[in-house]
Amino acid sequence: MQVLVVGAGVVGLAIARTAALRGHDVIVAEATGGIGNGVSSRNSEVIHAGIYYPTGSLRARHSTRGRRMLYEFCASHGVTYRKCGKLIVATDAAELVKVETLLAQGVLNGVEGLEMIGGNAARALESVLACIGALSSPESGIIDSHGYMLALWGELEDRGGSIAFETSVERMSYAAPHWQVQFGGRDAGAVAFDAVVNSAGLGAQALARRIEGYPADKVPPLVLAKGNYFGFAGRPVFSRLIYPTPVDGGLGVHATLDLAGRMRFGPDVEWIDHESYTVDPRRADSFYQRIRAYWPGLPDGSLVPDYCGIRPKLTGPGEKPADFMIAGEPAHGLPRLVNLFGIESPGLTSSLSLAEEVVDYLAV
Ligand SMILES: Cc1cc2nc3c(=O)[nH]c(=O)nc-3n(C[C@H](O)[C@H](O)[C@H](O)COP(=O)(O)OP(=O)(O)OC[C@H]3O[C@@H](n4cnc5c(N)ncnc54)[C@H](O)[C@@H]3O)c2cc1C
């Protein structure tokens, strides 16, 4: 089949590469001038173990399976990663109950190696930590996400696929047996495809609304939850990822490490109504307060505004978190069309597994 994938983020690239490996002719249309310019370049670069998500959900299934696939992919394709492990820390009795609930959830999800440790054992691992107990997750890690996307792109091209940059998908309609797709930008014009995957991240809903005949009530709301990061101006004090207990809309302001040896904190949750990528320095106050709950020694003046990303959520504050949405023909009635909605965290971790499910839909 001639397959069009809309969006060269980590998920679109994983889908394109999987489709090409299965013998399809694949074109990726990307509105910007490069790969990973959307949500995929504005995240924590954490390979999640798969602990938090309700058992049986797409997020649980694809993060645990995707994580195993991702480590294998990194090892076989020379992508830099570090399985550094992570601690989810409890600073009081109420948080300890939450962390124990997470342990039970993670075990149900099939996450390997999870273990509760006491406060002293946690401090033996990370000496500056203040906590009364922690969940240790040895399978969690960090990845060079840009290197990963480059490897996906390389494999796509090896199989004859390509990316059209500065080329946006404007609208499309189905005229059996093809999808007629109208492009704008550098490669403007109309082209026919057998199958289309909408992996446009924050643009997925807008594009779905421009698909002729697509049921309007099947386009879910897009809710924007910005996540701000602050860099730490100093040498890292942790050697593994340190997470507090989750908050509404996010996993809590955690300490993340990157492969260049830097430490940063975030993301928080800022509900917004339009895309904006500035980090308000005044948010530092709440960061100091939250981080000092588990690292009381955080020095004054050590946090500097860094970057931010926007989670493409399907539910808002106080609502039950939505699952990933993979809308294939059974969901909307149009053949060989898959729309992906709400691919927020852990989308990077899940990408290789998600890609297989999406490409399976195209064969139906
Ligand atoms: C703050 C934050 C932290 C996160 N941390 C983690 C983490 O640690 N681990 C993890 O596993 N996941 C994490 N995630 C989630 C992860 O980053 C995303 O799930 C993933 O990057 C989504 O990739 P994508 O390809 O769906 O979207 P994107 O990367 O946004 O790609 C979509 C692309 O589509 C293009 N596009 C849009 N409309 C059109 C159009 N009409 N025509 C052509 N192109 C179009 C855009 O330009 C963009 O490049 C985090 C997310 C956020 C926001």
Angle, CA 38 vertex, CA 37 and CA 41 arms, to 5°: 65
What global pTM score does this model have? Answer: 0.97
- The helix/strand/coil state of 175 is strand
Instruction: Specify the pLDDT at position 250.
Output: 83
CA distances from 309 to 37, 193, 250, 267, 301 (A): 11, 32, 12, 8, 23
Candidates 11, 35, 41, 43: which one to mutate for ligand 1, based on the most atoms within 8 Å of Cβ?
Answer: 43
User: For position 181, what pLDDT does the model report?
Assistant: 98
CA-closest residue to ligand 1 atom 35: 7
- Distance, CA of 78 to chain centre: 21
pLDDT of residue 325: 98
Contact between residue 266 and residue 254 where contact means Cβ atoms under 8 Å apart: yes
Give the distance (Å) from ligand 1 centre to CA of residue 10: 7
Protein residue closest via CA to atom 42 of ligand 1 = 168
Task: Tell me the best of 37, 39, 74, 242 to mutate to test the pocket of ligand 1, counting ligand atoms within 8 Å of each CB and taking the most.
Answer: 39
pLDDT at 360: 94
| C-alpha distances out from residue 258 to 24, 44, 232, 255, 273, Å | 35, 8, 12, 10, 30
Which of 169, 294, 154, 284 lies closest to 238, judged by CA?
294
Q: For position 364, what pLDDT does the model report?
A: 59
Ligand 1 pocket mutation, candidates 251, 345, 353, criterion most atoms within 8 A of CB: 345
Average pLDDT by consecutive 10-residue portion of the chain (364 residues)?
A: 98 98 97 98 96 97 98 98 97 95 98 98 97 98 98 98 98 97 94 98 98 96 97 96 89 91 95 96 95 96 97 95 96 96 98 97 79
* Spatial separation of the C-alpha atoms in residues 120 and 135, rounded to whole Å: 13
> Nearest residue CA, atom 13 of ligand 1?
345
Taking the centre of ligand 1 as the mean of its atom positions, its distance from the CA of residue 27, in whole angstroms, is 18
Task: Identify any residues that bridge with 182 across adjacent strands, giving them in sequence order.
Answer: 171, 190
| Distance between CA atoms of residues 267 and 2, nearest Å | 39
Q: What pLDDT sits at residue 247?
A: 83
The ligand 1 site (C-beta within 6 Å) comprises 6-12, 29-32, 37-40, 42-46, 48, 168-169, 199-203, 207, 227, 267, 309-311, 343-349
Rounded to the nearest angstrom, the distance between the alpha carbon of 131 and the centre of ligand 1 is 33
